[in-house]
Structure 1
């Protein structure tokens, strides 16, 4: 397969997310990097609110409900802006400005382009072919959920869980990923694997770097070396965005985390922590934060919890700073009451927004000392040490410690807090305390590892910029030359190229290789092998559109729903199944002599069976006795075969016509 379909699907993905988000950001008065970075969270919020509203309005899922929600929000923002008399003429020192004072206009686009190119190369090497899929357990659900949203014309987070739990056991599932991907399929006709991969590319190449650069500029300023370094470093940590694409696969979680940095940046401006004060009304930043959080949350609650941890530290710093100004008694009472309410809401969210106990079963995997070592050396999940990033981070931490501004204190606290959460998940031996700290992330260390880069990138960029600026000052003192001299420019270009190359060696090379192994389509792929994929792609020509296919989802047969568009009896491994489904799974090969099995087969409209052997995605064993002896069963006959993968047609129960 060529990469052209992926390019078209990625363009459609970017349009679905960024166009409405960018318009809303502009109406709100944001410009430049602020508008570009906030377009992601705003656009995803539009999509998720539309997915929630459409079923209640009786509208099928598609661009129409998205357009209606977008129009309603846009009109509301325009009215609010008009009611406040519009904005004053933009000041060049305004953090919401596209060109803060002293900024090199080219630094932001250069940083963004470098990040996109480097991450693009990484992801092409990982995916290898746009039709490849992540050969992981969770991807069975994610691919099929996109198909389910299309087939049921409903992408609501209150509906998507019914794919695996018709009795309402799963009442909420974060559906932003599936909602966006299903829109892309509708718009372009792309295959579901291609649409899913296109969304992964947009998340990694566009949303994450934009947020990382915005947060870096918001907290540490607009120095050119800082912003270019942030672009390079956003593509230098295996923990984000690569780890969620490899482990799991955690597509929705990566989606949510990519939206978090911009949301955090808006939060700290609302709290007036940056040194450069903003001239816009406070309600603009309230709207920015409130407008971003639905997108973050319905992309994945774990991403919201990451925002909550980092934002709570910012709230604490802002509250302490407020008290140090010695305000009047009434203001102290009001602020204290507000702080108490925030703490209460945060505590409730911490308790409520966590998966059930039986879902957070991951245990510590290393000793406490090893966990601390991984956190300090950024070698998360037993990865290699990204030496250059560690060195830059150390310098950045030293700079922040020496300055100790309010932003520095907050950033250092956020680095400590996110690192402690990772250490707790991977190594804390006191399980009750560990669960109290990390239950919101399933007590799962890779999920916690992916949060820390949100803080590491700005701090490491601060360190890299400090090294560059120190060299430049000394060079100018020696040469008494111009800051725009050809020599300085040449050295700057060389330094950037050296930083790019250095950060892509070692740890990143290892991470890319390991991730690529999870996307390779081979005869022994853990979820769907080469033979099995070939058979799945032929199913539309062999299986009627209204027929249902039985098969063990653990072997990859369940992915037939996403790949071929034909309904399967079990679209995921973890399902609440009824008695008829259980009977088919246990007795299908005896259907020729079992009238009760035939009744179940006819009720479920099961006309075909996929036999992908007994190799399961996790290497475990989940027996389906009714599928064990299909080769010798008189209830079915083989109608297609690719290697050991076989498609059977049910000929018992009067289905042999």
Structure 2
């Protein structure tokens, strides 16, 4: 039975994968991008289209859903194809060639063997990541017992129920609405619509698995292919190493739960791989004409998932521009045009100013950046050197090759930018762990809420490609020293060294004790028991009974810190509050503070009737983060004016009888 339930996730996972690939790939391919660029950009472009449809829907006055997403995909695909045709004809005229043959840039299409190797390695990584995430979740319909889970699950129900998926006007936090990136939530909601699913936890977990198994390793492999010219050992190492770092994706689907950050960071490796096309070497094909518009669409997808990922992307862009400028300087020293230096410096300066503006503009209010320093510098430096942040068990299979790879990359002018990129991520993490509270800390890491977990997730972005390079260096050195085997052909020694190394990657990576220990720690938020912070088995049992007890138009009063707010997403029951940080209306404030006095205070009944409240969910016991319960819900069974409707263990549903 247990295996059958897991198998039931397969249609949902396949649906998510299709939604992540098809809309974006149609658009990027129509733009004329080569496969090595179009495919890595596709998931971010798909998120932009799916979530962007939510922004467009109120403007065109149609509900968000499959037809609108399909229409927007068709419009963007046709627009891309038309732009490609126009650009092609303009370039042909400029070259004086009717067919445009003289203007075609050389292409470096991957061979069929390279494509097949990439797909096999992606499938291998996908299986491992699916297994790891399933171990962390424990059950297919597991619910994260964390603060943000209330918002993320309820946001999906809000979209499904109202047809409003706008990131500009999200009403879950306040009646007047506010800005909140809905990339994750629209992806889950669209998956449910396409697959005809009715379970938000199942769809959420299927999306988690799909992003972990497809987007993350796919992007890492695309980046490795670009950095190391498709070298097979580097690709094999990357396929294994991207499954061996617990700080991403396993950490961010444990803490928080940080679904938007998880999606955005998973998109980054593929986008960085495509970004490299903007800075080709002299022996590489020039950038496709429509690459920049495609990147802009993908960046929109990043922003609609989690805006802080845009800052990370722009940091990468500036670092690559710095290497671009140095390449022009070196070219000028060899007699090349000096004008290139000035042009590139101007472009880099403008980009840097724009990045500073985004850095400041996308930051949440300072009151939201509440996480403070929590470790000493020496300990944090140790975490950085071992590529194992947040005190997770050390994965030596990543740590040692990453150090070797950093040294090797610094010696190669073409790859120095990768060392700098990794260093910037590590310095941001160091600042979040050690810098004292204040304006400077907020300026440096406030974009990420000063949260060490979000910044810890950046470290694998640089560590994995460096570790892949380090793996190749170690293997090559080992092959050179295997002279005692008396193998006359260097290729034979190399194959033995590679085989031994790959075996060690498997045993010391996803199959290692360190990974198991990390999973044991990170699976805790998905474990439901009588002492759970958010929902206990009794409370979940009562929530599942609600559709048969409460009318569709009836509103249930709840205290969200008890987990009762999840009745909205798990049972489709209308609740007074749908998010723990909801901004109260005057009537809600009365209910929260005085509900138990409904039989004595006329003001309470006035608020109850104004809100249409007919029932109350009473979940006594532990609250999330030990928050103080609403005073209006304390000892509710002893208050007059409430009739018991149903009880499941300690959890109870009461009808309000005091207000007529």
Q: TM-score, normalised by structure 1?
A: 0.92
Q: Report the CA distance shift for 1:27/1:450 in structure 2 as closer, same or farther (over 3 A).
A: same
Structure 2 residue aligned with 1:182: 189
Q: 1:177–1:252: 8 Å Cα contact kept in structure 2?
A: yes
Q: 1:588–1:635: 8 Å Cα contact kept in structure 2?
A: no
What are the superposed Cα offsets for residues 592-645 of structure 1, whole Å, 9 maximum, x if unpaired? Answer: 232221111111111111111141121x23231211132122221111111111
Q: Which moved more, 1:511-520 or 1:349-358?
A: 511-520
d(CA) in 2 for partners of 1:621 and 1:75? 52
Structure 2 residue aligned with 1:108: 118
Q: Which moved more, 1:605-614 or 1:468-477?
A: 468-477
Structure 2 residue aligned with 1:540: 547
Q: 1:637–1:649: 8 Å Cα contact kept in structure 2?
A: yes
Match for residue 14 of structure 1 among 13, 17, 26: 17
Runs of 4+ more than 6 Å apart = 86-93, 487-491
Q: Report the CA distance shift for 1:262/1:646 in structure 2 as closer, same or farther (over 3 A).
A: same
d(CA) in 2 for partners of 1:16 and 1:416? 34
Match for residue 124 of structure 1 among 128, 134, 137: 134
The yes-or-no answer on 1:165 pairing with 2:174 is yes
d(CA) in 2 for partners of 1:67 and 1:5? 26
Q: 2:534–2:624: 8 Å Cα contact kept in structure 1?
A: yes
Q: 1:236–1:503: 8 Å Cα contact kept in structure 2?
A: yes
Q: 2:33–2:291: 8 Å Cα contact kept in structure 1?
A: no
Structure 2 residue aligned with 1:99: 111
Q: 1:639–1:649: 8 Å Cα contact kept in structure 2?
A: yes
Structure 2 residue aligned with 1:510: 517
The yes-or-no answer on 1:585 pairing with 2:592 is yes
d(CA) in 2 for partners of 1:500 and 1:428? 37
Match for residue 631 of structure 2 among 625, 629, 652: 625
Structure 1 residue aligned with 2:328: 322
Q: Which moved more, 1:474-483 or 1:568-577?
A: 474-483
Q: 2:644–2:653: 8 Å Cα contact kept in structure 1?
A: yes
Match for residue 315 of structure 2 among 309, 333, 349: 309
Secondary structure (helix, strand or coil) at the match of 2:13 reads helix
**Offset at residue 51 of structure 1 (A):** 1.3
What are the superposed Cα offsets for residues 413-445 of structure 1, whole Å, 9 maximum, x if unpaired? Answer: 111111001000011247443322111101111
d(CA) in 1 for partners of 2:262 and 2:372? 22
d(CA) in 1 for partners of 2:527 and 2:102? 54
Q: Which runs of 5+ in 2 are unaligned?
A: 90-99
Q: 1:411–1:455: 8 Å Cα contact kept in structure 2?
A: yes
Q: 2:154–2:569: 8 Å Cα contact kept in structure 1?
A: yes
Structure 2 residue aligned with 1:3: 6
Q: 1:140–1:558: 8 Å Cα contact kept in structure 2?
A: yes
Number of equivalent positions: 641
Structure 2 residue aligned with 1:560: 567
Q: Report the CA distance shift for 1:455/1:93 in structure 2 as closer, same or farther (over 3 A).
A: farther
Structure 1 residue aligned with 2:92: none
CA RMSD of aligned residues (A): 2.4
d(CA) in 2 for partners of 1:4 and 1:542? 31
What are the superposed Cα offsets for residues 97-117 of structure 1, whole Å, 9 maximum, x if unpaired? Answer: 3339xx745431232122111
Q: 2:387–2:459: 8 Å Cα contact kept in structure 1?
A: no
Q: Report the CA distance shift for 1:91/1:237 in structure 2 as closer, same or farther (over 3 A).
A: farther
Q: 1:60–1:154: 8 Å Cα contact kept in structure 2?
A: yes
d(CA) in 1 for partners of 2:454 and 2:106? 37
Secondary structure (helix, strand or coil) at the match of 2:149 reads helix
Q: Report the CA distance shift for 1:61/1:5 in structure 2 as closer, same or farther (over 3 A).
A: farther
**Offset at residue 90 of structure 1 (A):** 13
Structure 2 residue aligned with 1:64: 67
Structure 2 residue aligned with 1:254: 262
Q: Report the CA distance shift for 1:328/1:479 in structure 2 as closer, same or farther (over 3 A).
A: closer
d(CA) in 2 for partners of 1:98 and 1:549? 58
d(CA) in 1 for partners of 2:499 and 2:555? 59
d(CA) in 2 for partners of 1:514 and 1:94? 47
| Mapping of residues 341-352 of structure 1, within 5 Å | 341-352=350-361
**Offset at residue 321 of structure 1 (A):** 2.3
The yes-or-no answer on 1:235 pairing with 2:243 is yes
Q: TM-score, normalised by structure 2?
A: 0.92
The yes-or-no answer on 1:596 pairing with 2:603 is yes
Q: 1:36–1:210: 8 Å Cα contact kept in structure 2?
A: no
Q: 1:548–1:569: 8 Å Cα contact kept in structure 2?
A: yes
The yes-or-no answer on 1:383 pairing with 2:389 is no
**Offset at residue 94 of structure 1 (A):** 3.9
